[in-house]
Amino acid sequence: MAPQRTMSEEELRERVRALLDEAHPDEVDQFTFRGAQFDHGLAWVHFPEGLGGLGLSPKMQAVVNDELRKHAKRVYEDLMVNPIGIGMGAPTLLAYGPEELKKPLLRRIFTGEDIWCQLFSEPGAGSDVAGLATRAVRDGDDWIVNGQKVWTTLAHVAKWGMLLARTNPDVPKHEGLSYFLLDMKSPGVEVRPLYQITGEAEFNEVFLNDVRIPHRYMLGKEGEGWKVAITTLMNERTALGGGSSRKGGGPIAVLVQLWQERGRDSLSPARRAVLRDHITQLYIESELLRLTALRARAAQKSGHPGPEGSVGKLAQAELYKRIWECGLDVLGAEGLVYEAGYERRRPTGFGRGDALSLAKYQFLRSRANSIEGGTSEVMRNILGERVLGLPQEPRVDKGVPWKDVPRSG
């Protein structure tokens, strides 16, 4: 890694003010403003110059964000603009992408012009990602891909997909994978919606029928796809388990608002005391999660995402479910009523109406938190084996060529 540059906080603040003089978010659209932010090196200050950064310490990004909050009425949250592209695609592309692809793709990731999705999960290999069956076969300068992916968030609006495919079935499962960038508009890509309990179609099935991918869109080397995928997955867990960057923000803020508006004065004294203690405990755990997430994000931005991401991912999935369950406790019978209808939409995070509708929606949506991005059981395995040093689970397919491993279907 190149040595970090040094720049004073005041110099960096001056750079942010120069950006706002050139393109103020109140006067231009999102793409124009964020494009200018990228060109000024203020997208990710720890990235190299010319790729949206300045080669500074990742800690200096807080200075940029603070200055933007002070002087720009409208602030775009990265993970709301393009959650998978910014949270997972950008660091993977920076680490393993061909040089000629980095700048044009990174800029459009940051602006949100190109939404990204992740094509890892398959019907026959959910938690066991390395056991996937989608095949990619070399044909001259192209690869021909056939297979099926599932639970693909945002595939219906994505321009690019991070695709993991099997390029050699004659070696053990982790060794026969390669990693590609797939243009989701390519012939042979079919996206079908999967409706969730909320009524939305945020997830999708993706069918790949003789899809051609140019060899230059391979990230890393042939057969080293698992190594690249680990980078994506570690960043994914940090992004999913990132919690709120603001003290008292995120889901706990909504719960506290519900308590103040609807619960505090309408309950019996005994019920009020029990719920108050419960909410206080959830607030404490939210703050612990936030502080852990800060450590994980610091490691991620330094280019070395560690197990803190899996800690945060596991803790956040379980905590958020309990927060939204408590929200329904506060609402009582009113929380059981949910608007009917199916709306296929791009998720916009927590900006879904008032606290009442948000609590009811998130109670249902949070059921997916302990599945998406690796189940809680997978996270516990990672923490047990890689952090605590516990014995590994017995693996009957270890060292066995993938084609010889028994599979259903």
CB of 328 closer than 8 Å to CB of 359: yes
Provide the annotated active-site residues: 236
Tokens 């991912």: give the residue: 313
List, in sequence order, every residue forming a beta bridge with 204; answer none if it has no partner.
Answer: 193
DSSP states of 29-65: -HHHHHHHHHHTT-SSTTSPBTTTB-S--GGGHHHHH
What is the length of the chain? Answer: 409
Q: How many CB atoms lie within 10 A of CB 38?
A: 23
Beta-ladder partners of 164: 179
**61 token code pair:** 């990004």
Contacts for 286 with CB less than 8 Å, ≥ 6 apart: 243, 244, 248, 250, 251, 252, 319, 323
In a 10 Å sphere around its CB, with 0-12 CB exposed, 13-18 middle and 19+ buried, how is residue 389 labelled?
A: exposed
Report how far Cα 140 is from the mean position of its chain's Cα atoms. Answer: 34
Identify the H or E element spanning 365: helix 355-365
